[in-house]
Structure 1
Amino acid sequence: MTTIALQVNRRAVEVSAEPRTSLADFVRDKLDLTGTHLGCEHGVCGACTVLLDGVPARSCITYAAACEGADVTTIEGLDEDEITTELRAAFTREHALQCGYCTPGMLVSARDLVLRLPDADERRIRVGLSGNLCRCTGYVGIVRAVQSVIEARRARSIAPVADGGRTLLGPAGSGRAVSDRSEPRPVRQAPVPASENAATGGISDFTPATVLDQRFTLQHPPAKVFAMFDDIAGIAACLPGVSLKSPPRPERVEGLIRVRLGPIAASFEGAARIERDPATLSGRIVGIGTDQRSHSATQGEIRYRLLPLEGGAATAVELAIGYTLTGMLAQVGRPGLVRDLAKRLVAEFAANLDRHMSGMPSGQGAPAALSFWSIVSDVLRARIARILHRG
């Protein structure tokens, strides 16, 4: 195993992987960034295209270890990007996508064209997109979408960037990747798998691949809420799908959490450690777990902070939920679904916590679940909102 350190979507990442691991498998399996799709795995179809030091690159034929020190941007990292936002709207307007499998790589390549082409020349756009194959659309809508964004940006006097910002010759990623191997690299210890860590008692810090921020309010004073957070068994009883395996201790809590995403069920068995700071009414829970059935593993971190409201009569609970998921479930655990599940889990936890502190029984027991019908209804609501917005 080799420890690879690089920037992914503006976040420092240091993860252990086999030397033969491709960049595509690295971001999908190690970082849960499954927006990067795998098609031909020969660098031909372009579905796996990412930005490597700002340059489009085929991640399926790029070794992750060769990207040491580089800056990688996947389609998830372009959520707030101005050009990509315009392209997404144009793709919808021009009916430039059908099944959507090629779309992430297509958007990354199209963004590069919008950035550097001086005008919306159809031939140059088609040549620029020739490395991205689509089996559905016939390309007409895609070309029109890219043309419309280039025309709109040039009309707003946004000048092209010469060579798309490329400053060095050589392979994509050579701009920042570590090239001087004359000095031996320090030997790093490969991370111990979660299951082994749980067995030996070590629960180490980590850098989450995804962080979700949540907030809820309790009609109880901060001191009372903070004291409740010290009742590990009580908190576990309020968390949907969580059960303890043994008497809890702050330095080690062993348990099980059951999760259901539609028809997919998982039971993560593992351990956690708990840190608290009474001076700031804050704390942290760091945990690891594995699901033997799917051969998936997860690392999780919950940071919380309590803020007084209504003159100290109520409390705002701020949560930062970070996680890294690997294995089969990482392939289906799309960020949108995980965010939805996290919101539902936090809402149910808040309701259970409020009932528990008010002396009423909580509704704990069932797995933390995101049903098929809730997924469908959310998709329909989002589409209806977009249609009304366009109208």
Structure 2
Amino acid sequence: MNTIALQVNRRAVAASAEPRTSLADFVRDKLDLTGTHLGCEHGVCGACTVLLDGVPARSCITYAAACEGADVTTIEGLEEDEVTAELRAAFTREHALQCGYCTPGMLISARDLVLRLPDADERQVRVGLSGNLCRCTGYVGIVRAVQSVIEARRMRNVAPLADGGRSILGPAGSGRAGSGPSEPLQLGRTALDRQFASAAHLSIPDFTPSAVLDQSFSLAHPPAEVFAVFDDIAGIAACLPGVSLKGAPTPERVEGEIRVKLGPIAAAFEGAARVERDPATLSGRIIGIGADRRSRSATQGEIRYRLLPLEGGVATAVELSIGYTLTGMLAQVGRPGLVRDLAKRLVAEFAANLDRHMSGAPSGRTAPAELSFWSVASDVLQARFARMVSRVTGKSGRSDRRPPGAAE
């Protein structure tokens, strides 16, 4: 599940949804805006039409995740719209609706025609409405209603808007909320595309992870010493498999890359992170965001850690909580079980490298290691085989025992 943030009917909203969720299902099921109707669900009938960044769009064939940051207007958001109010009155006057199922999408498309067409040309109106199907009216009343509104507005010297007020080239939804025509190359980007920008421009927001894994390990060093090492960002990065830094790190911003291999997919996540520390509780948090252009995958992640004394304070228990959200191609192969096993291996390698680093022993690494799917899978299979053998031998051992009081 991904958290999708966008503007809906001039209100900022955020809700979780699966990557395959359509914009129509998102506004209906997550936001209870049921004025957007579902008909063919193939983008043909037009019942699901909404305004996406001011442009009519089929919400049934638009992924909600692709609308991150966009400005969406449903029929409910046009309640006080002047043009829509005139169209409602005209639809009533011209008997342009019967069952009403197509009407919300029809009104949104008609509104676009009223804004764009210079005059009430019947042919242009019919062509403009050809993407909205109605099985009741025969369209005559609908066409007359739209024509009458156009005529009335032009008689009041309300001029048409060039291209319906659109100042941006590109498909519906290509203009992102808050962007202007002076940024044409930024307008067509989805949330994933924006994460493919240079790490120098990535923001590092808080987020709610879609999955959280708890891990722990111990070190033969006092908590105060371990906490001091955690303040050495470059040293900690050198202990993490697959990680390399770019530039001089600071607690406010760390830029770098982590390389991962999962089967045939090799990914290099470029991104940035920030580091938070609390000396009073010997705890902290590392939160980051990154993207891989090759696999078109993006991730957000956070590592929360807490240090606890062991053996009277001469050793340390390191408790980790690893949260992440993964989108794109790698999300299709990143099954929870595999990710858990991958995290265990990463933490084990990190603990061993950290112990060597604190002991002053060379790590022997000249370049960041890559996390290989096959090496992880080998370890996983060995561990599961060992557990299976343990269960079988355990059962065999119990079957040889006689219950108390049994005869020889």
TM-score range, shorter-chain basis?
0.5 to 0.7
8 Å CA contact 1:275, 1:283 repeated in 2: yes
61 and 198 in structure 1: CA distance in 2 versus 1, 3 angstrom threshold = closer
TM-score norm. by structure 1 comes to 0.53
Q: Within 2, Cα distance between the matches of 1:304 and 1:356?
A: 18
C-alpha separation between the residues in 2 aligned to 1:332 and 1:261? 8
- 2:29 maps to 1:67: yes
SS at match of 1:289: strand
Contact 2:218/2:315 (CA < 8 Å) preserved in 1?
A: yes
Identify the residue that residue 354 of structure 1 maps to in structure 2.
355
Q: Is the 8 A contact 2:229 2:236 kept in 1?
A: yes
The letter of the residue matching 2:27 is A
| Residue segments in structure 2 that go unaligned for 5+ positions in a row | 9-15, 33-75, 80-176, 179-189, 397-408
For 1:370 and 1:358, the matched residues in 2 are separated by: 30
Counting matched residue pairs gives: 236
User: Residue 347 of structure 1 aligns to a residue in which SS?
Assistant: helix
Deviation, 1:384, is: 5.6
From the superposition, tell whether residues 194 and 384 of structure 1 become closer, same or farther in structure 2 (CA, over 3 Å): farther
Between stretches 197-206 and 305-314, larger displacement belongs to 197-206
Contact 2:196 2:292 in 1 (8 A): no
1:177 aligned residue:
none
CA deviation map 1:184-240 (0-9, x unaligned):
9xxx98968433483424211010000000011011111100000000010011001
SS in 2 for 1:63: helix
CA contact (8 A) 1:341 1:369 kept: no
Q: Name the CA shift for 1:376/1:310 in 2 (closer, same or farther; >3 Å).
A: closer
Q: What are the ranges of 5 or more consecutive residues in structure 1 without an aligned counterpart?
A: 1-7, 20-24, 31-58, 71-180
SS at match of 2:204: coil
1:369 has 2:372 as partner: yes
Maintained 8 Å contact 2:199/2:270:
no
* 1:97-145, Cα deviation, whole Å (9 max, x unpaired): xxxxxxxxxxxxxxxxxxxxxxxxxxxxxxxxxxxxxxxxxxxxxxxxx
Q: Could you say what secondary structure the match of 1:368 adopts?
A: coil
State the partner residue of 1:244.
Answer: 245
Q: What is the CA-CA distance between 1:250 and the residue it aligns to?
A: 0.9
- How far, CA to CA, are the matches of 1:329 and 1:64 in structure 2? 23
Q: Secondary structure at the match of 1:374?
A: helix
Structure 1 distance, partners of 2:24, 2:240, is: 42
- Map 1:134-149; keep pairs closer than 5 Å: none
Summarize the alignment of residues 13-52 of structure 1 with structure 2, pairs less than 5 Å apart.
14-16=3-5, 26-27=17-18, 29=19
**AA of the residue aligned to 1:219:** A
Deviation at 1:304, TM superposition (A): 0.5
Shifted more, 374-383 versus 291-300: the winner is: 374-383
Is the CA contact 1:251–1:274 (under 8 Å) kept in the aligned structure 2? Answer: yes
Is the alpha carbon distance of 1:309 and 1:66 closer, same or farther for their aligned partners in structure 2, counting shifts above 3 Å? Answer: same
Are the equivalent residues in 1 in contact too, given 2:305–2:319 (CA < 8 A)? yes
CA offsets, 1:298-323, max 9 Å, x none? 00100011111111111111100000
- Written as runs of structure 1 = structure 2, the 5 A alignment for 1:1-391 is 14-16=3-5, 26-27=17-18, 29=19, 63-68=25-30, 193-196=194-197, 198-364=199-365, 365-371=368-374, 372-378=377-383, 380-381=385-386
Cα deviations by residue, 1:68-105 (Å, 9 ceiling, x for unpaired): 169xxxxxxxxxxxxxxxxxxxxxxxxxxxxxxxxxxx
Q: Give the direction of change, closer, same or farther, for the CA distance of 1:267–1:61 in structure 2 (3 Å limit).
A: closer
Say whether the 8 Å CA contact 1:197–1:203 is kept in structure 2.
no
- Structure 1 residues 262, 386: CA separation in 2 closer, same or farther (over 3 Å shift)? farther
Q: Contact 2:220/2:315 (CA < 8 Å) preserved in 1? A: yes
Equivalent-residue separation in structure 2 for 1:363 and 1:266 (angstroms): 24
Higher relative contact order (CA 8 A, sep 6+): 1
CA spacing shift, 1:313–1:376, aligned 2, 3 Å: closer
Q: Match of 1:317, as an amino acid?
A: V
The structure with more radius of gyration: 2
TM-score by length of 2: 0.51
Contact 2:243–2:257 under 8 Å retained in 1: yes
Counterpart residue type for residue 4 of structure 2: V
Q: Is the contact made by 2:255 and 2:271 (CA closer than 8 Å) also made in structure 1?
A: yes
Q: How far off its partner does 1:387 sit?
A: 6.6
- Cα distance in 1 for partners of 2:214, 2:260 equals 20
**Is the contact made by 1:258 and 1:268 (CA closer than 8 Å) also made in structure 2?**
yes
